[in-house]
Amino acid sequence: MSDVGVWFVGARGNIATTAIVGARAIARGETSTTGMVTERPPCDALEFPAVGDLTFGGHDVRERSLREAAAELAATGGVPARETIDAVADDLDAIDERIVNGTALNCGPRVAELADHEPLETDRTVAAIVDRLREDYAAFCDSEGVDRLIVVNVASTEPELADPERYDGREALERAIDENDRELPASSLYAYAALVDGHPYANFTPSTGSTLGGLRELAAEAGVPHMGSDGKTGESLVKAALAPMFAGRNLRVRSWEGHNVLGNTDGRVLEDDRNKAGKLASKGGILDGILPDLEHNRVRIDYTPSLGDWKTAWDYVHFEGFLETEMTMQFTWEGSDSALAAPLTLDLARLLSFADERGEGGRQPQLASFFKAPDGVDEHDLSRQLDALSEYVADHAAEDPVEPTPEPATDD
Ligand SMILES: NC(=O)c1ccc[n+]([C@@H]2O[C@H](COP(=O)([O-])OP(=O)(O)OC[C@H]3O[C@@H](n4cnc5c(N)ncnc54)[C@H](O)[C@@H]3O)[C@@H](O)[C@H]2O)c1
């Protein structure tokens, strides 16, 4: 198995910081792998790179160190614990050296406020930004001895792209890059720079990422695995599990109100309606496929600074049963936003690495359960999505292990 690197776009953010602290704490025997899907059946039947062997790097537009990011998480939400951060502090310092400045093209004013550096687009054409991102990925692989790099987008949510169809083919997309089309979003530039050099890509955010038609074509042609969009971690996870129950019992859900309050930087960025639009669409879309008769489906997201990295969702479900009897169900979910999300980013990196090693390019429908808006998958029922993952694992568990590629012969 090759040396696998995980490149976080948004590497100084809460999810990336928690994932890095967690992975290094697992490596040092300081914590368990609870919360990681690849560490339990059925996935544990497959051979993945060990969590402790993953090498981390990334892009961000902020300057704060991983130690500072982790300390802020501990102070505002208690996760990770301070002792855990102390145990991996040297690792965090080493990884800090591998986080470089990125692009925030079309990420909106809220993200611009976060930036400590001049982002790459300040003095570069779009083609030059892409070249720089490719160089950054390559330099990391060279310096760290990484021969399989997985790029995972955990950057702030961007505003939605208008008319994404204009980038439907690879040719149209590459022409736009060459002609310095400054309407292209940063997430798709990171994705392009990854896929064009054969690096698998996961989009944990609702941003455009690799959903552009031109990027799908590129990934399919080049045989590179990729998948998105928007990690399914809290309220949306519960919705995907509960909605099929109402459908299966022919209980007619009339209204589903979901109100989310959170206090972290993600919440601050989502205060801007332009950044929020994509998140509302992916959260709301889960119910559309499962409950087609729903009369009223609303999601609200509000920023409540004092909550820190904790998110509370309150959902109110109004439904009708036999003899038109009106009934309701309510639930409250309170979760540590990053503790829920971080392990899934490590799972995605491992599963994409596995697919890449087997030459399985293009979108990865078996990963649908990880996402609110799984790219190319209409199935939103969580149990069916998990069945698809189990089937994938069963198919591969029966295979012979992949032979390592022989080293090329040298003269000496
Ligand atoms: N926490 C969850 O459960 C969850 C679930 C699904 C999706 N998400 C999404 O994951 C993303 C990350 O969440 P978070 O809580 O870590 O947010 P965060 O605000 O803590 O971190 C985001 C990081 O991205 C950086 N960034 C912003 N734009 C960038 C760019 N163009 N290039 C490089 N870096 C950039 C920011 O400086 C910040 O450090 C958000 O888009 C969020 O909506 C989170």
Question: Residue 298 belongs to what domain range?
Answer: 235-335
DSSP 348-368: HHHHHHHHHHTT--EE-GGGG
| pTM of the shown model | 0.95
Other beta carbons less than 10 A from residue 178's beta carbon:
12
| Order of strands, sheet of 99-101, starting from the edge strand that comes earlier in the sequence | 99-101, 55-60, 4-9, 148-153, 201-203, 225-227, 362-363
Do 278 and 206 contact (CB within 8 A), yes or no? yes
- What digits encode the pLDDT tens for the residues 47-80? 999 999 999 999 999 999 999 999 999 999 899 9
Q: How far apart (Å, rounded) are the C-alpha atoms in residues 222 and 391?
A: 25
Q: What is the mean pLDDT of the chain?
A: 94
Which of 7, 9, 15, 65, when mutated, tests ligand 1's pocket best, judged by the most ligand atoms within 8 Å of its CB?
Answer: 15
pLDDT tops 70 at residue 410? no
pLDDT at residue 268, as a whole number:
86
Q: Kindly state whether residues 253 and 133 are assigned to the same domain.
A: no
Q: Is the previous residue joined to 80 through a cis bond, with omega within 30 degrees of 0?
A: yes
DSSP 279-298: HHHHHHHHHHHH-TT-SEEE
pLDDT at residue 406, as a whole number:
59
Q: How far apart (Å, rounded) are the C-alpha atoms in residues 342 and 21?
A: 10
Q: Kindly state whether residues 184 and 255 are assigned to the same domain.
A: no
Other beta carbons less than 10 A from residue 271's beta carbon:
12
Do 200 and 247 contact (CB within 8 A), yes or no? no
Residue nearest to atom 11 of ligand 1 (CA): 154
- The verdict on residue 411 lying in a domain is no
Q: Kindly state whether residues 345 and 312 are assigned to the same domain.
A: no
Atom of ligand 1 nearest to the CA of 340: 3
Q: Residue type at 139?
A: A
pLDDT band at 412 (very low <50, low <70, confident <90, very high): very low
pLDDT band at 282 (very low <50, low <70, confident <90, very high): confident
Query: What total of structural domains would you count in the chain?
Result: 2
What is the Å distance from ligand 1's center to 316 Cα? 28
Tokens of 319: 């439904």
pLDDT band at 407 (very low <50, low <70, confident <90, very high): low
pLDDT band at 146 (very low <50, low <70, confident <90, very high): very high
- The verdict on residue 407 lying in a domain is no
Do 81 and 31 contact (CB within 8 A), yes or no? no
Q: Residue type at 351?
A: L
Q: Would you give the end-to-end CA distance of the chain in angstroms?
A: 25
What is the Å distance from ligand 1's center to 111 Cα? 10
Q: Kindly state whether residues 239 and 226 are assigned to the same domain.
A: no
Q: How far apart (Å, rounded) are the C-alpha atoms in residues 332 and 285?
A: 20
- What digits encode the pLDDT tens for the residues 227-267? 999 999 999 999 999 999 999 999 999 999 999 999 888 88
Other beta carbons less than 10 A from residue 326's beta carbon:
9
For strands 326-336 and 310-320, give the pairing: antiparallel
Atom of ligand 1 nearest to the CA of 155: 24
- What digits encode the pLDDT tens for the residues 308-361? 889 999 999 999 999 999 999 999 999 999 999 999 999 999 999 999 999 999
Q: Kindly state whether residues 204 and 320 are assigned to the same domain.
A: no
The CATH number of whichever domain residue 256 belongs to comes to: 3.30.360.10
pLDDT at residue 280, as a whole number:
85
Q: Kindly state whether residues 96 and 109 are assigned to the same domain.
A: yes
- What digits encode the pLDDT tens for the residues 116-137? 989 999 999 999 999 999 999 9
pLDDT tops 80 at residue 409? no
Q: Kindly state whether residues 350 and 294 are assigned to the same domain.
A: no
Residue nearest to atom 25 of ligand 1 (CA): 10
- The verdict on residue 20 lying in a domain is yes
- The verdict on residue 156 lying in a domain is yes
Q: How far apart (Å, rounded) are the C-alpha atoms in residues 311 and 300?
A: 13
Atom of ligand 1 nearest to the CA of 114: 37
pLDDT at residue 108, as a whole number:
94
- % of the chain beyond a pLDDT of 90: 88
Q: Kindly state whether residues 225 and 280 are assigned to the same domain.
A: no
Q: Kindly state whether residues 253 and 281 are assigned to the same domain.
A: yes
Atom of ligand 1 nearest to the CA of 338: 1
Token look-up 């429908």 returns 365
Q: Kindly state whether residues 374 and 322 are assigned to the same domain.
A: no
Q: How far apart (Å, rounded) are the C-alpha atoms in residues 60 and 40?
A: 32
pLDDT band at 1 (very low <50, low <70, confident <90, very high): low
For strands 310-320 and 252-262, give the pairing: antiparallel
pLDDT at residue 281, as a whole number:
82
Q: Kindly state whether residues 93 and 215 are assigned to the same domain.
A: yes
pLDDT band at 399 (very low <50, low <70, confident <90, very high): confident
Closest CA relative to residue 290, chosen from 260, 253, 262: 253
Mean pLDDT of 199-203: 98
Q: In Å, how far from its chain's centre is CA 322?
A: 41
What is the Å distance from ligand 1's center to 269 Cα? 9
Atom of ligand 1 nearest to the CA of 156: 41
Q: Kindly state whether residues 307 and 194 are assigned to the same domain.
A: no
What is the Å distance from ligand 1's center to 202 Cα? 13
